[in-house]
Structure 1
Amino acid sequence: MTPMVTTSTMRWWHSRICCYFLTFVVVAALGLMSVAIGTRTVPWGDIWAGLSGNLETIGQAAVAKRIPRTLLAAIAGAALGLSGAIMQGVTRNPLADPGILGVNMGAALAVVIGVAWFGMAGAQSYVWAAVVGAGATAIFVYAIGSLGRSGATPLKLALAGAATSVAFSSLILAIVLPRNDIAGGIRTWQIGGVGGATFESIQLVWPFLLIGFFISLLSARKLNALALGDELATGMGENVALARAMAALGAILLCGATTAVCGPIGFVGLVVPHVCRLLVGVDHRWLLPFSALTGAGLLLMADIVGRIIARPSELDVGIVTAFVGAPVFIWIVRRQRVREL
């Protein structure tokens, strides 16, 4: 029996390592495509020269401008994919997602209030406002979804998040419409995109993202325990409330920082964890880093598609991910059978 177990274990490790390696290769290829594809077609010679820092030709200058955009798309996609996996693990809700639970819209509302009512202008202020807004919204949605005898069921959380997202979106419109001085910029930012990326904006959110990634990945074992149920997790020595709070904190930091620099981008955190579970299983020690890697690839691909289908203009990634995510959301609801949620 021992050789059979050993062989099975080796195959298990081999299949997951292959998934990681192949996904990494795909993400790297998408990164190169993101640098090469745009309004102007850039030859490979200019791409390598531009990556080296040369700015002698228009093509090399275009590459230099696309590098921060590519980097931001990869980082934002990784953050959203990882935060989605965390939220689904914390709530044990297959429909959990920063967009569906209203967390992204709460972060956006906090930024809009800061800009419109308090004259907030610095990008650093945007990040703090977005993180606070995301945290407050997460607490609010969980509190509303916990009302009633059955507690925070997946369906109640999804409904509470959807209602909160719609309400916050209406509030944003009510705040922005009378303010012609900020309306154009806010509406563009609210779609969700990476077109205006700069190294300076990435540096501002990098500390929040780094802390969020660190906390989230450290929560993997605790999320495995929570997946067994609160009673079993408590019997295993876990502090259930603390475990949920720490994992949620990591997801909130990731969502808030990403929303501050990119705007609210939906459905990445919903689609990515479900795909990743099919490939590497439900163990969060494998699932969380793989969700980050796959999320980076998805947002890079969405950004590339948005540039190709709308040439010489482009579609923001928030629009592209909505086209991809909405059918997946419907499929998940039908697969899970709403009455059982």
Structure 2
Amino acid sequence: MARLSPLWILAAFGAALLLALALSLRFGAAEQGWADLIEARAFRSVCAMAVGAALAVVGLLLQRLTANPLADPGITGVNAGAALATIVLAYLWPGAGGLAFLAVASLGAGLAGLALWGLAGGSGGTAALSLRLPLAGLAIEALCLSLAGALILTDAEMQARYLRWLLGAIPMVPRHETAALLAIGLALVSGFLCCERLELLTLGAEQSDSLGKKPGQTVALVLGHVTVLAGASVAIAGPVAFLGLLVPLVAQGLARGNLRWAYAFALPGGAALLLLADTLGRVIARPGEVDAGIITALLGGPALILVLRRMLAR
């Protein structure tokens, strides 16, 4: 059977994204005229596309770095660390702006990543990290989300603003506070430039070093992009679950090991999936909404079981 050209696959992902965008603009919790539709839904769709693409790339980078198909930003606790840091900032400084939330969320994601590295035995090599990563990540996620939920429940205003956000909602961020969107755009572009270094690292630290790509620098660059992308995504939409697991698995399978093509597939794939989840959540519960994070969790749960079965079978 002939293989599909990567360009054709990328075109198919692009068409799927355009279709998802059209559906997102057309359907919602309430019918609106075109003028109101553009005002109310267009920017929300931009937020969903940015967050979806960012989480897909985070999952892809983590899976390739750790050689573990379960390395999702949710399962590893990175998103939960960013969420906890965001809630703490909102609790201590209710009037904080977009830059402050971006910085603190990224810091929380970074601290969660460091905790994961230590608990999972990252210093013991890729094998140790791959084996222990899911357990350590789930422990970090449970702790951070529990603390975040406890803080939210202590204040009625916090409940109104952040209880749904903690489940993974796509609110329309204020248009004058678009620092997180800008950070995602820049990190997605620069992240593509890390693909060559990361591919060399997966072939072996010695080979990477012999070609002038220091393994330590590569790990730092990848984790830096993971921190920024995860932090910015959480600052916009909360800790959306499982999207960073689903899309990278599909993208890597279609790319047949080529990280740059997988990266190119993950961008529109993640954006389209979160757009569709957000649209579906607005339609199935009219006039209310089901948060996009709940929809992705419903899709990701069975996928997680399938991946675990494949890993155990090996």
Q: What's the TM-score once normalised by structure 2's chain length?
A: 0.93
Secondary structure at the aligned position of 1:264 is classed as coil
5 Å-filtered alignment, 1:100-249, equals: 100-146=75-121, 152-201=128-177, 203-249=178-224
Structure 2 residue 21 is the aligned partner of structure 1 residue 31: yes
2:256 equivalent to 1:256:
no
SS in 1 for 2:69: coil
Measure the CA separation in 2 of the matches of 1:195 and 1:72. 8
Further displaced range: 111-120 or 87-96:
111-120
In percent, how many aligned pairs have the same letter? 31
Output the CA distance in 2 between the equivalents of 1:28 and 1:295: 13
CA deviation vs aligned residue, 1:187-223 (integer Å, no higher than 9, x gap): 121111113344334x221332133213311111111
Q: Which amino acid aligns with 1:256?
A: G
Following TM superposition, the consecutive aligned residue runs of length 4 or more in structure 1 with deviations greater than 4 angstroms are 147-151
Let me know the Cα RMSD of the aligned residues. Answer: 2.1
Aligned position for 1:21: 11
Quote the Cα distance in structure 2 between the aligned partners of 1:91 and 1:292.
20
Asked if the contact 1:73–1:296 (Cα under 8 Å) also holds between the matched residues in 2, the reply is: yes
Q: Secondary structure at the match of 1:85?
A: helix
Residue 21 of structure 1, CA deviation: 0.6
1:294/1:148 CA distance change after superposition, 3 Å: closer
Q: Which has the higher contact order (CA 8 A, sep 6+)?
A: 2
The answer as to whether partners of 1:90 and 1:248 remain within 8 angstroms in 2 is no
Q: How many Å apart are 1:237 and its aligned residue?
A: 3.5
Q: Say whether the 8 Å CA contact 2:47–2:172 is kept in structure 1.
A: no
TM-score (norm 1): 0.86
Counterpart amino acid of 1:180? A
1 CA distance for matches of 2:299 and 2:280?
11
The number of residue pairs the alignment matches comes to 313
Moved more, 203-212 or 227-236: 227-236
Q: Distance in 2 between matches of 1:233 and 1:75?
A: 31
Check 1:199–1:117 CA distance in 2 against 1; reply closer, same or farther (3 A cut).
closer
Deviations 1:48-101 (A, max 9, x none): xxxxxxxxxx44212321100111111111111111101111112111011110
Post-superposition offset of 1:178: 2.4
Change (3 A) 1:37 1:275: same
Q: Distance in 1 between matches of 2:282 and 2:94?
A: 33
The one-letter code matched in structure 2 to 1:304 is: T
Note closer, same or farther for the CA distance 1:275–1:215 as it changes in structure 2 (3 Å cut): same
> How far did 1:310 drift?
1.1
Deviations 1:134-154 (A, max 9, x none): 111111111111178676432
1:269 aligns with 2:244: yes
